[in-house]
Structure 1
Amino acid sequence: MPKRIEVCLTPALLHLYDVKDSIVVVIDILRATSSIVYGIANGASAIIPVANVEDCLQYSGQGYLLAAERNGEVVEGYDFGNSPFSYTAEKVAGKTVVLTTTNGTKALHMARETAYQVIIGSFLNLKSLCAWLKTQDRSVLLLCAGWKDAFNLEDTLFAGAVVSDLRKDFDHFDDSSIAAEDLYQLAKNDLRKYLHKSSHSHRLAALNIEEDVKFCLQLDICKAIPVLIGDTLIALETD
């Protein structure tokens, strides 16, 4: 059967896609999936994505690190939010993190309900992610977390980067994947400059965390591919 690659531009459109036999790559570049990749690469035993702050709090007192972000800021009373600088080896190696974010963890939960498999993508692990996807005999849906169910630039740019890399290995591309790739080709020579105009970049700049944006746009500094097993993200075994 021909392998498809499709791009779902926001979680609000996910119901339009049949993904029961597909690998879904969840994308939330600024910042959830970048931090998840970085945390797993730095030795976190697992990351448990939960839908809301109250669910995260239920893990209190069990030896987990609790991470909660809403509207770009750390929720008061939690260990940290979703800045990649909180997911260093010194902080997360050998530990389990329970994470809730404005957009990324919501998209993860939606994908889990119907997808054959759910994995995590970011610019940090772009090369290893694409190399692994090429070895799989399944169609791929790139699910952009967006911003509160609306389209955003950064997730779509990353989806376009994946489409560009996989073009020779897949047989069918939907219009969203073509548009995402065209956008990536337009922006790829200076992603940071292009994304400077994006709404979420401005949102993070207002919070004085522009360094997070710079960090999340680095290419291929990690090889880890987080995979969702049950309700827990762990490192995918690719060998």
Structure 2
Amino acid sequence: MQKKLIEVCYTPADYAYFKGKFEIVVVIDVLRATSAICSAINNGVNSVIPVSTIEEAKDYQKKGYLVGAERQGEIVEGFDFGNSPYSYMKPELKGKDIVLSTTNGTRAINIAKEAETVVIGALTNLDVLCEWLAKQDKNVVCLCSGWKDNFNLEDTICGGAIAENLLRTGNFASNEDSSVAAKYLYLTAKDNYFGFLKASSHRRRLKKLNLNEDIKFCLTPNQMDVIPVLRNDRIEKLKY
């Protein structure tokens, strides 16, 4: 049996190289968009509508939607919430369709939306996602959201974790050095994500905003068993 590919793309700016070659795209924005989306779906939110611009978010707000918007790590003035995972755990959000726009994560989701399947990955749903991916018998690319088209550590480590888990099955292979590097970053960091990422640029950015609780939550693996999937421009719970 021919092995399927698992690769890691560091930023949306690099995605053109991978586009069209992989049936499944896993979008990753550990700090904090994809962690927040996992929390929302795990909390019973019906769907999350990812939009790339504040203008789109405002249009949805005018239609009566609850809208989360974040730029530079902070809630955009005039919106209901930002991209803290804790914002999406409120009981009153259960069953709702909400809108989210973030600096990096929602943009990456929309860049990938033409793929056959787009799923949302984070450390918080790592194991269940890897188990599901291993059963699909399809080529997988992890699209790291990065920071404004620049490489970041936390997304790459999460991509490396997914790559390592799938490679261990013996049914996947990697050809790209980006994937090899991501895997070894993960293996170096996996026993202490919080400590390893202490000097990372986005962790420092969030720490200045007093968001340490968010950071701890996002860097704690396997807190939930949901896999959010993009369907018709809405992110919903995958039934597997």
If the length of structure 1 is used for normalisation, what is the TM-score? Answer: 0.96
1:85 aligns with 2:77: no
1:24 aligns with 2:25: yes
Structure 1 residue 19, shift from structure 2 partner? 3.0
Contact between 2:167 and 2:173, CA under 8 Å: does it hold in 1? Answer: no
Secondary structure in 2 matching 1:5? strand
- For 1:65, the equivalent position in structure 2 comes to 66
Secondary structure in 1 matching 2:168? helix
- For 1:233, the equivalent position in structure 2 comes to 235
- For 1:76, the equivalent position in structure 2 comes to 77
Secondary structure in 2 matching 1:26? strand
Contact between 2:166 and 2:172, CA under 8 Å: does it hold in 1? Answer: no
- For 1:199, the equivalent position in structure 2 comes to 201
Contact between 2:22 and 2:141, CA under 8 Å: does it hold in 1? Answer: no
If the length of structure 2 is used for normalisation, what is the TM-score? Answer: 0.96
Secondary structure in 2 matching 1:81? coil
Change in 2 beyond 3 A, CA 1:128/1:68 = same
Contact between 1:30 and 1:154, CA under 8 Å: does it hold in 2? Answer: yes
Partner Cα separation in structure 2 for residue 21 and residue 143 of structure 1: 11
- For 2:11, the equivalent position in structure 1 comes to 10
What CA deviation, in whole Å up to 9, does each residue of 1:127-178 have, x standing for no partner?
1100100110210000000000000000001011111211133332121111
Partner Cα separation in structure 2 for residue 21 and residue 208 of structure 1: 38
Q: How does 1:27-66 map to 2 (within 5 A)?
A: 27-66=28-67
Contact between 1:43 and 1:89, CA under 8 Å: does it hold in 2? Answer: no
Further displaced range: 157-166 or 55-64: 55-64
Contact between 1:20 and 1:116, CA under 8 Å: does it hold in 2? Answer: no
1:143 aligns with 2:143: yes
Contact between 1:48 and 1:233, CA under 8 Å: does it hold in 2? Answer: yes
TM-align CA RMSD:
1.2
Secondary structure in 2 matching 1:221? coil
Change in 2 beyond 3 A, CA 1:190/1:14 = same
- For 1:122, the equivalent position in structure 2 comes to 122
- Structure 1 runs of 4+ aligned residues shifted over 4 Å read none
Structure 1 residue 18, shift from structure 2 partner? 3.7
Contact between 1:11 and 1:146, CA under 8 Å: does it hold in 2? Answer: yes
Q: How does 1:90-239 map to 2 (within 5 A)?
A: 90-113=91-114, 115-169=115-169, 170-173=171-174, 174-238=176-240
Change in 2 beyond 3 A, CA 1:91/1:203 = farther
Structure 1 residue 91, shift from structure 2 partner? 4.0
Secondary structure in 1 matching 2:190? helix
Unpaired segments ≥5 residues, structure 2: none
